[in-house]
Structure 1
């Protein structure tokens, strides 16, 4: 991120906060109030896109032509439903990093946001791992770990349906210790006003239909490979040979199971974006959605 980008977005935030032309806070219980908010958000989001387009390293790679209008209609017609955001992308594209930065901004501004990872919905494969000895042996014997069939999609869909209508749930927890164990109903997931669901399984099956905003994270192939191998070696204690073998597997799996959803995304974002700039864009979006005259 250049100094111009940093200064520019900070200037936009300051200008918004000090503006003398704030609109009165709409009455969201009235359709006219929601229509006013939708029109306001459309104009402001277009402003964000125009600004980002001029940045040295833009965040937004593509935005679906009808996304803003479609999302605005959703706010007007069904205001009580949670705003559901699905984030997918191939392995090591930056999904988790982006979600961590969203969490940082959430804490700073005390925003009502829930983040759920679909990696916790992997099937329990502990018995298979016992049979084959290790996860790598299981994979080498044909187990397709990134296939939609390797996830508890029925439970994920049920949980997403409940969360979207305001009901808290307990999700499974998949243990990342090589045992393949999935613990049922283990992690508390509150139903906040905004729900961010991250992971390749977010778009599998009927799950993609529940999202108001579908996001695809895209990153250069060589950077993804570097990230994956580094993470496998330093965080997961894999030897380099097995890590390279698994990388070859996920390349094929990504092409087959994840990349097709790129064409269905409302927003495609750069997974190599500068996190400071990304954080400032989130701060600006928070500002424009909360900066009304009371």
Structure 2
């Protein structure tokens, strides 16, 4: 595959636990061009809370648009679009702040950006060639989030439930679900939807062939 003049950006949005990451990796596997695909997660772009006391960090609403460093994300996407490498931030979910470590990311032909609010910001949305919304039932998303946060992020059962009821669910209905209207493609039931993933893969190949 010859290098494209301008990379293709695919945005995949949806609620926490909807299957965004699964779909991103399914597309990458189907396209089968590892050297040409970069998968980025919006979670990496939570704001740096280093100067904030731990007690206050734990109260931050991580499902609100203000929790993300949107200008940094936009800037780094633009750098990748201009074939410039970036140092992508990483986030420490145990310390509730940005890690000192970064990930070196080289430019690639296909950039898949997944996250709960990747379709919220107009400037970032306008950089995308394909906009996807993953629409998965609330109960399924909650169970997936519960399992992930306890296994991978060291959270207690009570803290996950309390956070879900106090911020995750209301923020989903206030900010995340409304971005569905910006999507080119809506995928029901996340990574379990093989037909939708096949359609997405076909669409990506079509976009690539016309670049």
The two structures have a TM-score, normalised by structure 2, of 0.82
254 and 99 in structure 1: CA distance in 2 versus 1, 3 angstrom threshold: same
Matching residue of 1:125: 49
Pick the structure with more helix per residue.
1
Q: Does the CA contact (< 8 Å) of 2:8 and 2:208 recur in 1?
A: no
1:206-253 CA distance string (max 9 Å, x none): 211111111111101111122112222233232211111111120111
Matching residue of 1:256: 174
Q: Does the CA contact (< 8 Å) of 1:129 and 1:179 recur in 2?
A: no
Given the alignment, which residue of 263, 270, 279 partners 2:188? 270
Q: Could you list the runs of 4 or more consecutive aligned residues of structure 1 that deviate by over 4 angstroms after TM superposition?
A: 108-111, 275-291
Matching residue of 1:219: 136
Matching residue of 1:194: 110
The Cα of 1:203 is off from its aligned counterpart by 2.3
Larger Rg: 1
Whole-Å separation in 2 of the counterparts to 1:203 and 1:290: 21
104 and 122 in structure 1: CA distance in 2 versus 1, 3 angstrom threshold: same
238 and 183 in structure 1: CA distance in 2 versus 1, 3 angstrom threshold: closer
Whole-Å separation in 1 of the counterparts to 2:17 and 2:53: 24
Q: Does the CA contact (< 8 Å) of 1:105 and 1:282 recur in 2?
A: no
SS of the residue aligned with 1:234? helix
Whole-Å separation in 2 of the counterparts to 1:245 and 1:153: 27
Q: Does the CA contact (< 8 Å) of 1:119 and 1:174 recur in 2?
A: yes
1:164-204 CA distance string (max 9 Å, x none): 2222211111123x112314681122221111111124223
Pick the structure with more strand per residue.
2
Question: Which consecutive residues of structure 2, in runs of 5 or more, have no partner in the other structure?
Answer: none
The two structures have a TM-score, normalised by structure 1, of 0.61
Aligned length: 205
Matching residue of 1:25: none
Q: Does the CA contact (< 8 Å) of 1:118 and 1:202 recur in 2?
A: yes
Whole-Å separation in 2 of the counterparts to 1:214 and 1:285: 11
Matching residue of 2:97: 181
Superposition map of 1:152-191 within 5 A: 152-176=69-93, 178-183=94-99, 186-191=102-107
Asked if 1:113 corresponds to 2:37, the answer is: yes
146 and 105 in structure 1: CA distance in 2 versus 1, 3 angstrom threshold: same
Whole-Å separation in 1 of the counterparts to 2:25 and 2:83: 23
